[in-house]
Structure 1
């Protein structure tokens, strides 16, 4: 895969552990064995979007950068369907009552994201609120 690409396959497994909370048992799911290939039981393509550059920078600047996985309806067994490095997109998924799992972003993905931002320029936070109608996030949300 070339360094200029805006897409990367990531594979992972899911692990569930039972937790007892106020007398109820619930399963807490987490992402394990995250790999930079398509060999795992779950494979999703991380796609970068120019309209999310400010969100990517915010994530990278926040101490421990994270990746977010949309995993189906809240309260159900996870069925991963999309992955993003944008906390804004993850928040929109949560607003839609989707289950969102998060995992520490591997250093190789951090470097790839930094190179993407260097190649395409930084976006100002101001630009995040002034998108063209229908531009950017709609494609990502429909995946």
Structure 2
């Protein structure tokens, strides 16, 4: 299964389809996944095309086109590349928009799944550890403290 099949599966899983996720939470969740995809610096034009085709259902209530939203999200992500302070601030913003611990936990678990698709690199593991710490997520079953 390739990265975008995994992303599509994540975004259409039962927890994300429930009405108790607000549009703001869905967007924060997507921003987190997109930021995770950029950690290793390997996002291609083909990946973006697949992303565009596979996750439009996530943005059902934005009032803006998917293309406008993805452009805005990519701009945010690119602005924090190489700047740890700005990346931390964006992650804090995402944490706040996700809201409660349950949704933060789901988001982090799905981020972990997404990052594992191509084999976790050191950068990706470090990013995941940073997110878990910021989001106050305990280690997942089978993980060490």
TM-score (norm 2): 0.28
The structure showing larger relative contact order (alpha-carbon pairs under 8 Å, at least 6 residues apart) is: 2
Structure that is richer in helix per residue: 2
Return the index of the structure with the highest Cα Rg.
1
Structure that is richer in strand per residue: 1
